[in-house]
Structure 1
Amino acid sequence: MRVFIALLGCIAAVTAVPAFPQRIVGGSLTTVDQYPTIVSLLFSWSATSFFQNCGGTIITNRAILTAAHCPFRDSPLSWRVRAGSSYANSGGTVYALDSIIINPNYNTWSMDFDVAIMRTSQVISFNNVVKAASVAGPNYNLADNQVVWAAGWGTTSSGGPASEQLRHVQIWTVNQIACRDRYAAGGATITDNMLCSGVLDVGGRDQCQGDSGGPLYHNGIVVGVCSWGFGCAQPHGDAVYKWRARAGSSLANSGGTVYAINSCTIHPSFSFRTMNNDIAILRTAVAIINSSAKPVSIAGVNYNLPDNQVVWAAGWGTTLVGVAPGEQLRHIQGWTINQKTCASSYATFGANVTANMLCFGWPLGGVRDQCQGDSGGPIYHNGNLVGISSWGYGCANAAYPGVNTRISKLATWIQTNA
């Protein structure tokens, strides 16, 4: 998830928002010959078609170190390990998993103890491009401003495409107090189990989506696991963040009133991998209803929404993949897409469109859609909230409509928890 908090809680003391969570920004191409301990972690919704989704590090001939948020709540059958290849989705040897061990103290809200171990079903065969890493021990000395290297197959810009070939980038360790102070301003907590890295007050180099779980090296020793952060390669935020709500403004980052968040309630059956039940309620610390901020009418459990109905999406997301999000609120007219048609499209690579999802698009071609930065935003039908932007394959892809959480299927949960 960003400039990057590495985490290595249970193995080393020095350690540290899709649809298709996939980050090396400002780096260069490299090969597995230089990083024989790194692996590509492959995910599948259906345990059939697998694609690169996170990174990991070989620590024994059966154990892979990664971030807990990557396989959290997943079955081992949903993951594979590709070792010995410079490429995310080809080459090397692919291993199935026997088990996934999530740190018992992992906190999905604070991201503390964001570390996990994947155990392969078979012994990993070591060679010149497949080796076990050395990890930092409890007394490992890692001072501020030390050169460290991050490697992975993540996106090369926030919201941009993932890299098929392995990339690496040189960055520096950032003073813990300085990092903690930066994120405290946004309500985030940097714990002693986290390690900040980046180019403070400069930016331009970082890990990004898809690098999650991947290694951070200091003199060849693994000292961190890519965990989270605010955006990618931001100069003033060393990988981490929390939330505020701006209401009553047409602009993304100015105007209106900003409210602190008191609590977050995530649907108990939400799956980060299948994106089923992708819904949450943020509760503000103070009341927000005023003349320019009003509550919406939501679709009830019996709300009738046929195919090919005109609906509207609104948000501040990017207008093209890889382009910076907009500052001015935008809206777009689209249509509800037949559920079976949408499900069939995504089934081609193993994704599952459930009854709790609503597909949205433009029937005359893939030229209208929601995109990065619109996640969580509304879909309206006759002024009623019928969907929440959730996930999809790319943006404005004619073959793959945008997928939203279907409000009517979760209306009872919303009313109970609002």
Structure 2
Amino acid sequence: MRSFIILLAVISVALAASVPAAAQQRIVGGRPTTVNKYPFVANIQYDAFGIAFSATCGGSLISATAVLTAAHCVAFPASYYSVRLGSSDPFSGGTVYNVTSYVVHPDWTGLDEGDVAILKLARPVIFSDVIRAARIPASVYPIADGTELTAIGWGDLYAGGPAPEILQEVQLNKVNTSVCAERYTALNATLTSPLPTVTDRMICAGTDAGGKGTCNRDSGGPIILNDDIVVGVVSWGYCPDTSYPGVHSLVSAYSEWIVENASSMHSTITFFTVISVALAASVPAPAQQRIVGGRPTTVNKYPFAANIQINEFGIVWDSACGGSLISATAVLSAAHCFGFPARSYGVRLGSSSAISGGTVYNVASYVRHPEYTNLVENDVAILKLARPAIFSDVVKAASIPARVYPIADGTELTAIGWGILNSGSTKPEILQEVQFNKVNTAVCAERYRALHANTTLENRKVTDRMLCAGGDGGKATCSGDSGGPILINGDIVVGIVSWGHPNCFEPMYPSVNSLVSAFSDWIVENAS
């Protein structure tokens, strides 16, 4: 018995020792929760010599065979680790999966940048109400300072205290990265063993009052936005004083690496969830665009309509954005629709259905406007198709205006797309159209200025390189229509759907679109 106890102590402490004490991560000031609410949560355990020890780290299931965690959580052979899924209890219930291999980010040097790893499970998980894959954001995914985030895990309840038997959650707020860096710079001046430097590839989260945070045994666990989007991986912090924010790896900074390395571990069903939702997540909720108050239409009327989809590893997912065919090999869309490699995308042309018919073309490359600034301005991109489209009655190129193309206030415009029809609905299978009117740019700008002054919404400014339309309530563009065309006279693309009010039905707040004439020279040059 003595040798068994000593061996347990030596191995489990050795693992904990791979993370300096000041940087170990645990949930502090939280409350109990369940895997029913967070079915992607993973409890990573040390399982040497067939003996399962208590939880050592957290993680997030991102496909049927891949778990996202922190690089500092794994240092021993893969056979030493196992992952419990589907249980709120770290010691029992759910299913324990062996780990066959893992990969650590190449930039990982020890509690610094690159604190990200992916574990490969020995067999695919069986999905259920308590086991599902989380979403991850694409490479462009801004999060405003002060945004509420959630940390979950089985870490100690307070510094030096016991670990809970039930999963815990705690609400925190995003802390400005520069402010966070300054706090740790000042703290490091007082420590004999300084902590790492805060960088732009990290996300800080905490509370002004302290008393809440992440620490030991929560390392590798998720920092969550909107319940299931993993925006951070718990990395390090200063647990003796929770007034210092926890510091976490910023997932969007590593999303392409995560997708690439999880691909060799994917199963068809789940990797779909990771990739397709990751693209959707790349558009912050207030900016997502959908057709509201419209009616069904066809590509016979709009033969340039392009349905942009995720098409990784030959598996086509449902529509992610809209676009406009402007030449045999070029599709015009929104910059915020893209963050993954070009091979991840496909374009369906010649079909009114988002899920069948027509022809799907692979994307060889794409270019975003060089001044694109995260859904604020210059939200324009061009996709180059791998082969020329074959023109027909249902596949034709749209026209775009020259750089001087005045549009009078009140002019009737048309938006088309496959976005959801109303709040909480599913996307339609058939192309939709809606008519609304151009709104004066200064009036539109003033409405959003007043809105942002009285809410906590991200402050996006309306500029002269944008086109406002709608705002009378009941008719609008929102999620799933991003990148699609705003039309005049049936086939002249004068706008590209970009952003708008979080509630697309809200009267007085028009849809805001990129003004194509402001970018026509750039579009022609890059589409040639």
TM-score (norm 1): 0.51
- What is the alpha-carbon distance in structure 2 between the residues aligned to residue 59 and residue 189 of structure 1? 28
- Matching residue's letter, 1:193: R
Tell me the CA shift for residue 44 of structure 1. Answer: 4.2
Tell me the CA shift for residue 237 of structure 1. Answer: 1.4
- What is the alpha-carbon distance in structure 1 between the residues aligned to residue 373 and residue 311 of structure 2? 24
- Matching residue's letter, 1:97: V
Q: Which of the residues 447, 454, 477 maps onto 1:182?
A: 447
- What is the alpha-carbon distance in structure 1 between the residues aligned to residue 312 and residue 468 of structure 2? 32
Equivalent position SS for 1:135: coil
Counterparts in 2 of 1:226 and 1:127: CA distance versus 1, 3 Å = same
**Aligned residues of 1:207 and 1:232 also touching (Cα < 8 A):** yes
State yes or no: 1:194 paired with 2:466: yes
Tell me the CA shift for residue 45 of structure 1. Answer: 5.7
Equivalent position SS for 2:347: strand
Show CA shifts across 1:148-186 (max 9, x none).
000000011133211110010001100101100011121
In structure 2, the residue matched to 1:56 is 323
In structure 2, the residue matched to 1:124 is 389
In structure 1, the residue matched to 2:399 is 134
In structure 2, the residue matched to 1:224 is 495
Tell me the CA shift for residue 48 of structure 1. Answer: 2.3
For residues 308-323 of structure 1, the aligned pairs below 5 Å read none
Show CA shifts across 1:189-219 (max 9, x none).
1011110001x3x310011210000001011
Show CA shifts across 1:289-346 (max 9, x none).
xxxxxxxxxxxxxxxxxxxxxxxxxxxxxxxxxxxxxxxxxxxxxxxxxxxxxxxxxx
State yes or no: 1:168 paired with 2:433: yes
In structure 2, the residue matched to 1:234 is 506
Q: Which of the residues 37, 43, 54 maps onto 2:310?
A: 43
In structure 2, the residue matched to 1:78 is 344
Show CA shifts across 1:85-118 (max 9, x none).
000111001100110101010001x520000000
For residues 373-384 of structure 1, the aligned pairs below 5 Å read none
**Aligned residues of 1:24 and 1:154 also touching (Cα < 8 A):** yes
**Aligned residues of 2:307 and 2:322 also touching (Cα < 8 A):** yes
Show CA shifts across 1:234-276 (max 9, x none).
21211369xxxxxxxxxxxxxxxxxxxxxxxxxxxxxxxxxxx
In structure 1, the residue matched to 2:355 is 89
Higher relative CO (Cα under 8 Å, sequence separation at least 6) belongs to 1
- What is the alpha-carbon distance in structure 2 between the residues aligned to residue 39 and residue 233 of structure 1? 25
Gaps of 5+ in 2: 1-225, 230-276, 282-288, 453-458, 514-528
Equivalent position SS for 1:101: strand
- What is the alpha-carbon distance in structure 2 between the residues aligned to residue 158 and residue 191 of structure 1? 28
Tell me the CA shift for residue 47 of structure 1. Answer: 5.1
- What is the alpha-carbon distance in structure 1 between the residues aligned to residue 475 and residue 446 of structure 2? 20
Deviates further, 186-195 or 168-177: 186-195
In structure 1, the residue matched to 2:268 is none
Counterparts in 2 of 1:180 and 1:100: CA distance versus 1, 3 Å = same
Moved segments of 4+, more than 6 Å: none
**Aligned residues of 1:158 and 1:209 also touching (Cα < 8 A):** no
Equivalent position SS for 2:370: coil
- Matching residue's letter, 1:223: V
Counterparts in 2 of 1:87 and 1:59: CA distance versus 1, 3 Å = same
In structure 2, the residue matched to 1:203 is 473
- What is the alpha-carbon distance in structure 2 between the residues aligned to residue 45 and residue 59 of structure 1? 24
For residues 15-414 of structure 1, the aligned pairs below 5 Å read 20=280, 23-44=290-311, 48-71=315-338, 73-108=339-374, 110-185=375-450, 186=452, 187-198=459-470, 200=471, 202-220=472-490, 221-230=492-501, 231-239=503-511
**Aligned residues of 2:414 and 2:436 also touching (Cα < 8 A):** yes
**Aligned residues of 1:44 and 1:50 also touching (Cα < 8 A):** yes
Equivalent position SS for 1:207: coil
Show CA shifts across 1:369-397 (max 9, x none).
xxxxxxxxxxxxxxxxxxxxxxxxxxxxx
Equivalent position SS for 1:206: coil
Counterparts in 2 of 1:87 and 1:28: CA distance versus 1, 3 Å = same
In the comparison of the two structures, how many residue pairs are matched?
Answer: 221
Show CA shifts across 1:17-53 (max 9, x none).
9654671110100111000011100114655232211
- What is the alpha-carbon distance in structure 2 between the residues aligned to residue 145 and residue 166 of structure 1? 25
Tell me the CA shift for residue 123 of structure 1. Answer: 0.5
**Aligned residues of 2:497 and 2:512 also touching (Cα < 8 A):** no
- Matching residue's letter, 2:493: V
Q: Is the strand fraction higher in 1 or 2?
A: 1
Counterparts in 2 of 1:129 and 1:49: CA distance versus 1, 3 Å = closer
- What is the alpha-carbon distance in structure 2 between the residues aligned to residue 65 and residue 139 of structure 1? 19
* Aligned CA-pair RMSD: 1.9
- Tell me which structure has the larger Cα radius of gyration: 2
TM-score (norm 2): 0.40
Equivalent position SS for 1:129: coil
**Aligned residues of 2:312 and 2:345 also touching (Cα < 8 A):** no
Show CA shifts across 1:40-73 (max 9, x none).
00114655232211000000100000000001x2
- Matching residue's letter, 1:158: S
- Matching residue's letter, 2:423: S
Equivalent position SS for 1:86: coil
**Aligned residues of 2:376 and 2:461 also touching (Cα < 8 A):** no
- Matching residue's letter, 1:195: L
